[in-house]
Amino acid sequence: MTSLHEVAALGQAERGLAVVATLRADDTIQSTLVNAGILDHPGTGRSAVAFVTAGPVKRAHLRARPQITVTFRSGWQWASVEGLAVLAGPDDPQPWLSAADLPSFLRAIFIAAGGQHDDWDEFDAVMVRERRLAVLVDPLRVYSNPG
C-alpha cells in the first residue's frame, strides 16, 4: 500500500479512526485517537490527511514541532502517513482559507473522515464554541504492513 487512496479505503473500513502521534518538547511521543480522512489541500491542491481537533495539547505540539504520523488500521492491516502538519482555524489563520470558509472546510473534513450530522447549524456552533481547527498532513512518507 503506497497511495493515499488506498489509505483512505483502509480508513473508511473503520469509520476514519486513526492514531495520531505528535512530538512533545521532551522528544517523547504523544498519541491520540481521531477521525481522519483524505481530501485535497486547498492551498496546494495535493491530497492530504485531514482531521479536526480542539485539543490544546496537540495544537501546542504541532505549532512547535509539525512532525506528525497518522496511522489507520482495519483488522491486522495498517497504513501510516508521516508528514508535516499545517493548522488552519480561528487561532491559526492561513492565506488560503478565509474565516467565512472555515465552517464549510471543517464540514468537508468531518465528512471525509466518515462523519455524518443531522444538524449542520449545531455542528458549526460547536466548532466555533470549541475553537476547532483543521489539521492537514502533507504526506512525506506512506507505508504499511505487507498483509
Q: The CATH number of the domain where 77 resides is what?
A: 2.30.110.10
**Is residue 48 domain-resident?**
yes
- Domain hosting 33: range is 4-142
**Is residue 147 domain-resident?**
no
Q: Do 13 and 74 touch, CB atoms closer than 8 A?
A: yes
Which parts of 87-138 fold into alpha helices (H)?
102-112, 120-129
**Is residue 31 domain-resident?**
yes
Structural domains counted in the chain: 1
Low-confidence ranges of the chain (pLDDT < 50): none
